[in-house]
Amino acid sequence: MADNENLDPEPAASEATAVRPADMALNVVEFIQRWGRPLVPVLVLPVLIGLFTAFESRFISITNLNVMLTQAGPLLMISLGATLVVLMGSIDLSVGAIAALSAAAAAVLISDHGWGTAGFILTIFIGMALGGVNAFCSIALRLPSFIVTLGTLSIFTGITLHILSGRAVFVDELPFEWLARGEGIPDVPNTFLAAIIVWVLLVFMNRYTRFGRYLVAIGAGEPVAALSGVPVRRYKTLAFMVSGATAGFGGAILLLQLGSATPSLGNQYLLDSIAAIVIGGTALTGGVGGMPRTLLGVALLTVLSNGLNVTGVSIFTQDILRGLVVILAVLVTIDRGRMQNLVK
């Protein structure tokens, strides 16, 4: 008993108060999440531009800037609607497949049936309808949006393969060709200007209309929003349909730029659209973020991809780096208190 009474309690106390390296790292991440979430992308962008310019001076040439804006146009368009879905705490993995299916349908209608302008405009409505399918499966059937859009990604890709018979369909005479080739502002592609116009409209809608406020409320807490009288099902359906519409328009832009539709047209936009959203600072848990952050994320991702190409980095290494950037972005933007609601 005496031995037990004389035991020194200090080691136990010191162990309890010791700060492990993992805890320190977590504290740093939480600090960045709280104070640096809006600032990190803003600070990283000029650093990347400076680094790539130091390695390769032609990175900031007018020609290369034009190339980057051409690349950014479709990505921004496809990412805009998907941002609304993420903002309300859901996710849309099918935007790339919707873009490809819309472009494929337009290519066949224009080249084989002479639909011309109508075939081009139809891409928006095709995308909207496909977004409605996602909304029905997620809301009416009460399935997580992750599972639903993962499934429709495969379904829409299969339909695209059937429409195109597994091959590329070329369109000789495209309507609105000036949109793909022209520059309303010198050295700024019209496709990028079109994406910016849609961005401005969605920024206004997100900030100053009931639609935008309700989406943020749903993302911050769907049960609370429902109890507050928000028609959750209606606005979630609208968000998925807008996501489909912008993806369809993005597919039309890709069709104009390439002059053809292929089964793999939207493959890269599955990861790139989600990457642009989270890199910009919109949280996958919902309720935090918006269109300005997505524009910043698109700029970061475009600068990163183009800079790695210009400096001669292997395409395989680029994929590794892009994946690491996405993980780091999620680490900074995720709300750990709401991680149990991440997939819904």
pLDDT one-digit tens code per residue, 290-335: 999 999 999 999 999 999 999 988 888 988 988 888 888 777 766 5
175 membership: H or E segment, kind and range = none
| One-letter amino acid of 287 | G
Q: How many domains does the chain have?
A: 1
Q: Which helix (H) or strand (E) holds 189?
A: none
Angle, nearest 10°, between helix axes 95-113 and 145-164?
A: 20
Question: For the chain, percent helix, then strand, then coil, each to nearest 5?
Answer: 75, 0, 20
Q: Is 54 among the domain residues?
A: yes
pLDDT tens by residue, 146-175: 999 999 999 999 999 999 988 999 988 777
Q: So what's the pLDDT on residue 36? A: 56
Three-class secondary structure assignment of 273-338: HHHHHHHHCCCCCCCCCCHHHHHHHHHHHHHHHHHHHHCCCCHHHHHHHHHHHHHHHHHHHCCHHH
Q: Give a yes or no: residue 16 inside a domain.
A: no
In a domain, 309, yes or no: yes
Whether residue 75 lies inside any domain: the answer is: yes
Are 131 and 250 contacting, i.e. CB atoms less than 8 angstroms apart? no
Residue 25 lies in a domain: no
**In the block, which residue shows the tokens 């597994």?**
166
**Would you say residue 173 lies in a domain?**
yes
Q: Which of 84, 87, 106, 110 is nearest to 95 (CA)?
A: 84
Single-letter amino acid, residue 179: L
Q: Which two tokens stand for residue 154?
A: 């495969």
- Look at residue 27 in the predicted model and tell me its pLDDT: 61
Q: Which of 91, 48, 43, 77 is nearest to 294 (CA)?
A: 77
In a domain, 86, yes or no: yes
pLDDT, position 16: 46
CB neighbour list of residue 230: distance below 8 Å, 6 or more residues apart: 214, 217, 218
Residue labelled with tokens 């993962």: 150
The CATH number that applies at residue 174 is 1.10.3470
Q: Is residue 19 in a domain?
A: no
Domain that holds residue 205: 46-341
Helix, strand, or coil (residue 261): strand
Residue-wise pLDDT for 71-98, tens only, equals: 999 999 999 999 999 999 999 999 999 9
